[in-house]
Amino acid sequence: MKVEQSEKDALEKAFRYLAHRDRTRGEMAAYLASRGYGEEVIARTLQRLTSLGYIDDRRFVRQWIAWRRRKNGYHRLRQDLLAKGVDRQIIDEEMADLGPEDEQEYAIARDLARQRMPRYHGDDPEAAARKLAAYLVRRGFAFGIISRVVREVIGGPLA
């Protein structure tokens, strides 16, 4: 009886946690563990949520990429998903058509750089290039992309 009640409570907590946004299996497992549920209860709850369609890491990855792609590079998206407990294989499969050095990635980085440039108005070109490059690195873009963008936006090579 106590285990059944514990599973029911865990499922109720899980539904409340899911009310805000989709979660990964890893996020849900960590959440339930932080609430004091045992491994067996967590495993059963995750299985139930998955079978009901409430937790789907592939769907989560697709939504995450669609939402975050406009302001983040390939590497940042990948790191964020790993931090959320998504399996590497799922990430690799869902991100297979995205490349760290493709033209879409370049266009996103260029647009972000152009939006950012007014902040560096009074800076000398070298300082502006360093700041812009650091910003794009934090956003998860590859060095090859950053180098091209800085050359185009500032007009000089990356120092």
Does 137 fall in a domain? yes
Nearest to 96 by CA among 133, 123, 153, 58: 58
Same domain, 119 and 90: no
Tokens 């090579």 identify what position?
157
Tokens 């490059």 identify what position?
133
**Where in the sequence is the domain holding 133, given as residue range(s)?**
103-154
Same domain, 39 and 63: no
Alpha-carbon span 42 to 10, nearest angstrom: 8
Token pair of 15 as six digits: 């539904």
Tokens 């946004």 identify what position?
21
Kindly give the confidence (pLDDT) of every residue in the chain, 159 residues in length, as a single tens digit, with 9 standing for 90 and above: 356 678 899 999 999 999 999 999 999 999 999 999 999 999 999 999 999 999 999 999 999 999 999 899 999 999 999 999 999 999 999 998 887 678 889 999 999 999 999 999 888 989 999 999 999 999 999 999 999 999 999 875 554
Token pair of 146 as six digits: 């950053």
Task: Count how many Cα atoms sit within 13 Å of the Cα of residue 5 in the half-sphere of its side chain.
Answer: 2
Does 159 fall in a domain? no
